Structure 1
Amino acid sequence: MSAESTTTDVRDRYWQKTRNLTILVLALWVFFALIIPTLVGSLNNVTFLGFPLGFYMIAQGSLIAFVVLIWFQNWRQDSIDDEFGFGEEE
């Protein structure tokens, strides 16, 4: 195997992992941004901290989920970068 094909293989695996991570994060983002709001009516039958669950999920839960998703995506991308030698030097 030549060095060029090995480099291409590594780059392809890197982009495949990065693409899969991006698809996962976007799918979860769509779930919290579009799917949960459509379920608000049925979620309001349950209360959480004295508020209807649907209201709580829209007002606070989705925002918390977005922050966690951003943190997770950054943490996982750093791991992928380090795995393939593209990470930042410390």
Structure 2
Amino acid sequence: MDREHLEAYWAKNLSLIRNLLVVWAVVAYVLGILLAPALNGIRLFGGPPLGFWIAQQGSIYVFVILIFYYASRMAALDRKYGFED
């Protein structure tokens, strides 16, 4: 493999990681901590306040979804650049 091919692969890989970390940080820190008091005025189906739910459960769900999204995107990226198993 030539150097440009590898650099393009790693640039896309790092870009994907960066973007997913930004999504996770926004959900976990911004929604779960900074905006939680404002979101607590909204209730989920008469249950817990939205800010509390995001801080306790929502960020975990988003993190698991991001893991599966990362795995699927990396599989496609590996196929595209010829690194599949």
Q: TM-score, normalised by structure 1?
A: 0.85
1:38 pairs with 2:34 = yes
Match of 2:78 among 78, 81, 84: 81
Number of residue-to-residue matches in the alignment: 83
1:25 pairs with 2:25 = no
Which entry has the higher C-alpha Rg, 1 or 2? 1
Question: Which ranges of structure 2 fall in alignment gaps of 5 or more residues?
Answer: none
User: Aligned partners of 1:32 and 1:46: how far apart in 2?
Assistant: 16
Match of 1:8 among 3, 11, 23: 3
Q: Which amino acid aligns with 1:56?
A: W
Q: Return the offset for 1:49.
A: 2.1
User: Aligned partners of 1:85 and 1:49: how far apart in 2?
Assistant: 47
Q: 1:49: which partner in 2?
A: 45
RMSD: 1.2
- Segments of 4+ in structure 1 off by > 3 A? none
User: Aligned partners of 1:53 and 1:26: how far apart in 2?
Assistant: 22
Q: Which has the higher strand share?
A: 1
Q: TM-score, normalised by structure 2?
A: 0.89
Give the % identical residues.
31
